[in-house]
Structure 1
Amino acid sequence: MKTGNRVARKHVGIRDVAAAAGVSVTTVSHVLNDTPHTRTSDDTRNRVKAAAEELGYQPNRLARGLRIQASGMVGLITEEIATTPHAGKIILGAQEEATRQNLMLAIINSSLNPAVEIDPAGVRAFLDRQADGVIYATVYHDEVNPPEEMLGIPAVLIGARDARGEIPSFMPDERAGAASIVDMLVAAGHRRIAFAASSVDVPATRGRLLGYRDGMLAAGLDPDQFVAAAEGEAKGGYEAAARLLDVAVGADERPTALFCYNDRMAMGAYRAIAERGLTIPADMSVVGFDDQDPIAASLFPPLTTVALPHYEMGARAVAELMGIIESRPEHGLLPGHPTLLACPIVHRDSVAAPSPDKHPRASTH
């Protein structure tokens, strides 16, 4: 495109320099920002600087300001998690850790983005205000593509991994959490353990189903015998539980325990169980996932469930971000491998050993 007699120059970004030099974006950032405590050879440094000069790269002054000025403020961008009933603990964990680190935490609630692209508007807003670093918390994505504004600055992801492997992240270990539920039910004596799965294809759906299968296979049980999928709400829980209970001819064939994809599905399952004249946990143990307020503790009986580590993710993200800002050598998680945080079981009153007459009869010789 020409303007008068001048040719408009294409904007050259940090990714262009990385491609020309044959190195990662992180390496380019370290070289051009003179980041301390990095292991970059002189040859690599020279290649990066030569590529930047040849391409006419001009660094983002606002982004560079994050490296040379300390505002004492970090930004948290939430992808509609601030409006969900159980994820506010991310904000609480981040806020309390920021206070411990003598930082001010600023929050922007971004709209939910169904794509895997992170909206750069919130990042730019924090750059304009000279924030020392940025945390982005997502809802459903297992991989995202951060905007260029997040590359070359201190940044951490919550709930997703960077598809390019440049930014460290924290995610819940939902697969291990689901497997631990099956282990707990097996230890209580259950062998016919059903799973009310979600029909929506999101990372949590896949992780929890895989965890259920892991636990069942580890116990030598059939992972496909008692599985029904429905929407991840109370209505779906009711429908899935009804299907799982109605396929059985008698008490000695139906499941003795029901693991629900989330607490909302467990709420619907309670109704389906009661309508069939069964009681919890005497006739059927029920377990949820999420430890969602106020559902899990308010059901009767109170629901045993798995807690997502929202508080820990928020706190750990701020601590990691501060380590990156200060270039502390003990920090620096592997960006290509998200740090998985444990999902602990919250024991309440909805689980008991199966009644003796509901145990599969042992063979006699």
Structure 2
Amino acid sequence: MVTMQEMADRLGISKSTVSLVLTSKDSGRVSPAVADRVRRCARDMGYVPNPLASSLRTNRTHIIGFISEQVATTPFAGRVILGAQEAARRFDYILMTVNTNGDDGLRESEIGALKKYGVDGFIYSCMYNQSARLPASLADQPLVLADATDATGRVPSVVPDERRIGLDGTRRLIQAGCRNIAFIGSHGPMRAQRARLSGYRQALKEAGMEYDPGLVANVHMGHEAMDKVADLFERRSPDGCFCFNDARAWYVYNEAARRGLTIGRDISLVGVDNHQVLAEMLVPSLTTIELPHYEMGYWAACKLVSMIEQRDLSHLALPRTPATIPSPRLTDARIHCHLVEKESVRAIP
């Protein structure tokens, strides 16, 4: 391995001068001509920085701890990890991922293990948008939340714009000429459920359509869902359905087939998730809103690096992705999700 001292000897300059250039601290301290010679010499000699030596100088390991609450075991949500990993690599950080499965004891054990490795900061990610109960062991650490928020509002976070999901999905059905639009929702006090229903209601109001609670069916899964969707069709005969997720859209497909209705002609559907199996395997394929898992992970890693290094990344060139990645300068980021047009919505008249 080539050392800074060997480079200094070859160039006939001091090791400290070489160090200033290779650690990007040469501005105003080393002449541009000398700095250029050092960089060319580094390329010619194949100099590779020693991360261990760097960590001793800066008291940083360039390791980010990624705490997964079931994200790592959820196929499409796992793209949060991919986004974080690719952003971390851009800044010469590596990602060390642990999965806790929601177990408090395991979570504390894994956080302790990551601290022993000297991680510079943490990303804490949940498998769906929720208010996270953060462990006290992270209180003094640089921390960013992905697909979750902190009840206190003090921890930077990134989530999908859930209300906009309901708004955009319902608007698309209205554009297709639907006038009797159902909302197939989820049970429980989920933030996404409340916000998507709010967006659905706003879209109806914009179009001069009355909100009808009778067109809302909040369902679990299995036979209960099939029965509730069947009852909705029997009572209200919807011509469009905005579905909380792609899995719930399946029950509408099933009921439409039972009644001899053609999806995309007699009734239009929009789902949420762009589930890698359901959205493509349903016939006709399901128009759906893709959740920004990759984008959330990428933003979280950029934000965390900006906190660790106290660095302004507001002008960072971000990758082009289906959903636009917000500026890392924000502390409460909401991502406008991308609607993926397929075949389950009638063509716009």
| TM-score by shorter chain over 0.5 | yes
Q: Distance in 1 between matches of 2:329 and 2:133?
A: 18
Structure 1 unpaired stretches of 5+: 1-64, 249-253, 356-365
Tell me the residue number matched to 2:248. Answer: 265
1:226 lines up with 2:210 in the alignment: no
Q: Distance in 1 between matches of 2:313 and 2:84?
A: 20
Deviation at 1:148, TM superposition (A): 3.0
Deviation at 1:127, TM superposition (A): 1.0
Cα gap change, 1:303/1:76 in structure 2, threshold over 3 Å: closer, same or farther? same
Tell me the residue number matched to 1:40. Answer: none
Q: Distance in 1 between matches of 2:58 and 2:121?
A: 12
TM-score normalised according to structure 2 size: 0.74
Q: How many residues align?
A: 281
Tell me the residue number matched to 1:324. Answer: 307
Deviates more, 1:185-194 or 1:233-242: 233-242
Tell me the residue number matched to 1:244. Answer: 232
Paired residues of 1:118 and 1:144 also in contact (CA < 8 A):
no
* 1:13-70 superposed Cα distances (whole Å, 9 cap, x missing partner): xxxxxxxxxxxxxxxxxxxxxxxxxxxxxxxxxxxxxxxxxxxxxxxxxxxx999611
Deviation at 1:234, TM superposition (A): 5.7
Cα gap change, 1:235/1:317 in structure 2, threshold over 3 Å: closer, same or farther? farther
* 1:160-193 superposed Cα distances (whole Å, 9 cap, x missing partner): 2122232101111111111011111111211111
Q: Distance in 2 between matches of 1:67 and 1:245?
A: 68
1:111 lines up with 2:105 in the alignment: no
Q: Distance in 2 between matches of 1:238 and 1:67?
A: 62
* 1:171-226 superposed Cα distances (whole Å, 9 cap, x missing partner): 11111111011111111211111111112322222121111112112212122241
Cα gap change, 1:291/1:170 in structure 2, threshold over 3 Å: closer, same or farther? same
Which of 143, 154, 178 in structure 1 is aligned with 2:142? Answer: 154
Q: Secondary structure at the match of 2:158?
A: strand
1:352 lines up with 2:346 in the alignment: yes
1:203 lines up with 2:186 in the alignment: no
Tell me the residue number matched to 2:274. Answer: 291
Letter in 1 for 2:304: L
Paired residues of 1:133 and 1:321 also in contact (CA < 8 A):
yes
Letter in 2 for 1:302: S
Cα gap change, 1:234/1:350 in structure 2, threshold over 3 Å: closer, same or farther? farther
Tell me the residue number matched to 1:342. Answer: 336
1:193 lines up with 2:181 in the alignment: yes
Q: Distance in 1 between matches of 2:141 and 2:129?
A: 22
Cα gap change, 1:296/1:352 in structure 2, threshold over 3 Å: closer, same or farther? same
Q: Secondary structure at the match of 1:139?
A: strand
Alignment of 1:1-365 (within 5 A): 69-112=59-102, 119-140=107-128, 142-224=130-212, 225-231=214-220, 233=221, 235=223, 237-248=225-236, 254-330=237-313, 335=331, 338-353=332-347
Q: Distance in 1 between matches of 2:86 and 2:171?
A: 34
Letter in 2 for 1:261: F
Paired residues of 1:241 and 1:273 also in contact (CA < 8 A):
no
Q: Distance in 2 between matches of 1:90 and 1:279?
A: 36
Deviates more, 1:211-220 or 1:310-319: 211-220
Paired residues of 1:237 and 1:260 also in contact (CA < 8 A):
no
Cα gap change, 1:259/1:234 in structure 2, threshold over 3 Å: closer, same or farther? farther
Letter in 2 for 1:229: N
Paired residues of 1:80 and 1:110 also in contact (CA < 8 A):
yes
Paired residues of 1:284 and 1:354 also in contact (CA < 8 A):
no
Deviates more, 1:235-244 or 1:94-103: 235-244
Cα gap change, 1:242/1:136 in structure 2, threshold over 3 Å: closer, same or farther? same
Deviation at 1:76, TM superposition (A): 0.6
Q: Secondary structure at the match of 1:303?
A: coil
Letter in 2 for 1:296: A
Deviation at 1:152, TM superposition (A): 2.8
Cα gap change, 1:101/1:354 in structure 2, threshold over 3 Å: closer, same or farther? closer
RMSD, aligned CA = 2.5
Letter in 2 for 1:345: L
Q: Secondary structure at the match of 1:288?
A: strand
Q: Secondary structure at the match of 2:184?
A: strand
Deviation at 1:141, TM superposition (A): 5.7
Structure 2 unpaired stretches of 5+: 1-54, 315-327
Deviation at 1:147, TM superposition (A): 2.6
Q: Secondary structure at the match of 2:127?
A: coil
Paired residues of 1:75 and 1:107 also in contact (CA < 8 A):
yes
Q: Distance in 1 between matches of 2:67 and 2:56?
A: 17
* 1:81-109 superposed Cα distances (whole Å, 9 cap, x missing partner): 11123201111111111222221111001
